Amino acid sequence: MKSTIAAAAFLALGAVAEAQQLQPLAPTPDFDKVTIKTTNLGNQIYVLEGEGGNITVAVGDDGVIVVDSQFAPLYSKIKGAIAALTSKPVRYLVITHFHRDHTGGAEAFGNDGAIIVAHENVKARMATGTRNGLTGNVVPPASAIALPQQTYRDAMTVRLQGRSAELRYSAAVHTDGDTYVYFPDADVLSTGDIVFFGRYPNIDFAYGGSIDGMIRGVDDLVNFARESTTIVPGHGPVGSKVMMREYREMLVVARDRIRRLKTAGRSEDEVVAAKPNADYDARFGLDARSNSNFIRVVYRSLTN
């Protein structure tokens, strides 16, 4: 019965996507040319940047906790970058949400013996497969070894000797299964895709995300973090609580601009053409596709 319901929901989502104008897919990265950049945050915590979501690496006395894993073709490069930091094994892979630029390496990490941890909704999405509401791109179900072995509902703590990671669920923000991860001994907060620095965020309106949810989720993180907390966003450079407040302001301004146009009866394409966020477009320096897609996901996530 559950599989029948899931299949029906998946088909219904496809029908909705077809009813709306599908947008072009993002260009496929040339993974052979991707290099992994390592930043030392101190206290044996590091950030790896490559192609896709940021990866946090936290080294304990008896192993390593890794947060997110980018795309599958980058696994060998990511593994090499971790090996350059420590010879200790990766004990846990924490997945902040189901998007493949954060889950791509899960199968390989699982094959290497890591315990994969995520919110229960992430396991459900990975098990059934997903479809992008904006582009129509289908991601098939993940293999059994890639699925989280440990899941949680509200909060949990992952522990190694000399290191712990506190996982908390943020409901209906970027997706319906977002986790943020706090390392208390180092005062480092890995936000997943609740926070982006230096660019517009993606909002997965097809799977529980919304612009209002994003703002609420950032509010929760601003209230949670200290002024001294180091923020590792889902995408963009490592930052601070001040930068997180600035990011929230952008979300609110952009939402209000787009909402006014939608309420006035403008179509999605008309709002894109109006370029309501031209000042932020210039500041971020992104391409036209990224600028317009942000407007589209905000527009579609707004309730009338």
DSSP 158-214: EEETTEEEEEEEETTSSSSSEEEEEETTTTEEE-GGG-BSSSPPP--GGGT--HHHH
Q: Which domains, and CATH codes, for the chain?
A: 2-25+39-247 (3.60.15.10)
For CA atoms 102, 213, 276, 269, the dihedral sign is positive
Residue 20: pLDDT band by 50, 70, 90 thresholds? low
SS3 73: helix
- 221 pLDDT higher than 90: yes
Q: How confident is the model at residue 15 (pLDDT cuts 50, 70, 90)?
A: very low
Asked whether 114 and 78 are in contact (CB, 8 A), the reply is no
> Which phi and psi angles does 154 have, rounded to 5°?
-120, -45
Which of the two residues, 265 and 2, has the higher pLDDT score? 265
Q: Which of residues 304 and 79 earns the better pLDDT score?
A: 79
Q: Which band of pLDDT confidence, cut at 50, 70 and 90, is reported for residue 25?
A: confident
pTM, to two decimals: 0.92
Q: What is the pLDDT of residue 19?
A: 52
Cβ neighbours of residue 30 closer than 8 Å, sequence gap 6 or more:
none
* Confidence at 304, pLDDT banded by 50, 70, 90: low
Higher pLDDT, 117 or 24: 117
Residue 196 DSSP class: B
